[in-house]
């Protein structure tokens, strides 16, 4: 199994460089691939900030990538939860942080908007000190 970097994910999803997109496709099709949470976090930021993807496009792209037959995704249930929350309007980084903290008794933040959004979604309380 090989792990891939964010630039492989972005080339595959955007095909903005034909040569690299072809190489990325070959890498992914050549065998089992590990897709790490940090790579997904960075890929979402690049797609949103660098390419102007809307949340629905990002959700579709990352779900499609994660669903490839030879793809092993780190923390797949937490990723699915974070993508659902992104689709519902939460920032992806916040959603992923919160989903990955589900084993904790609380999530503490100074971000009032995040706490308000998370109030109805999270299994753990999001509190403001």
pLDDT in tens, 11-59: 999 999 999 999 999 999 999 999 999 999 999 999 999 999 999 999 9
Quickly state the pLDDT bin for 124 (edges 50, 70, 90). confident
9 and 63 assigned to the same domain:
yes
The structural domain count of the chain equals: 2
Task: Give the domain range for residue 66.
Answer: 1-74
Same domain, yes or no, for 122 and 68? no
Same domain, 42 and 3: yes
Q: Is the pLDDT of residue 114 over 80?
A: yes
Counted residue by residue, the chain has a size of 129
Same domain, 58 and 12: yes
Q: Are residues 60 and 101 in the same domain?
A: no
Q: Do 94 and 121 share a domain, yes or no?
A: yes
* Residues 59-110 pLDDT 10s: 999 999 999 999 999 999 999 999 999 998 999 999 999 999 989 999 999 9
Same domain assignment for residues 2 and 65: yes
Pick from 74, 100, 120: which residue ends a domain?
Answer: 74
The pTM of this model reads: 0.91
46 occurs within a structural domain: yes
100 shares a domain with 64: no
The verdict on residue 81 lying in a domain is no
Closest CA to 118 of 96, 103, 92, 98: 98
| Any domain includes 84 | no
Do both 63 and 117 map to the same domain?
no
Q: The domain spanning residue 43 has which CATH number?
A: 3.40.50.1010
Residues with Cβ within 8 Å of residue 117, at least 6 apart in sequence: 89, 90, 94
CB atoms within 10 A of CB 51: 13
Max Cα-Cα span within the chain: 50
């Amino acid at each position: 199994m090989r792990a891939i970097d964010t630039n492989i994910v972005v080339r595959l999803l955007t095909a903005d460089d034909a040569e690299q997109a072809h190489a990325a496709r070959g890498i992914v099709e050549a065998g089992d691939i590990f897709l790490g949470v940090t790579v997904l976090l960075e890929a979402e930021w690049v797609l949103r900030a660098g390419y102007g993807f809307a949340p629905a496009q990002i959700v579709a792209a990352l779900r499609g990538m994660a669903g490839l037959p030879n793809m092993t995704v780190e923390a797949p249930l937490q990723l699915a939860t974070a993508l659902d929350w992104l689709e519902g309007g939460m920032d992806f980084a916040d959603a992923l942080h919160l989903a990955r903290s589900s084993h904790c008794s609380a999530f503490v933040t100074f971000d009032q908007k995040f706490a308000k959004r998370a109030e109805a979604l999270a299994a753990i309380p999001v509190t403001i000190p």
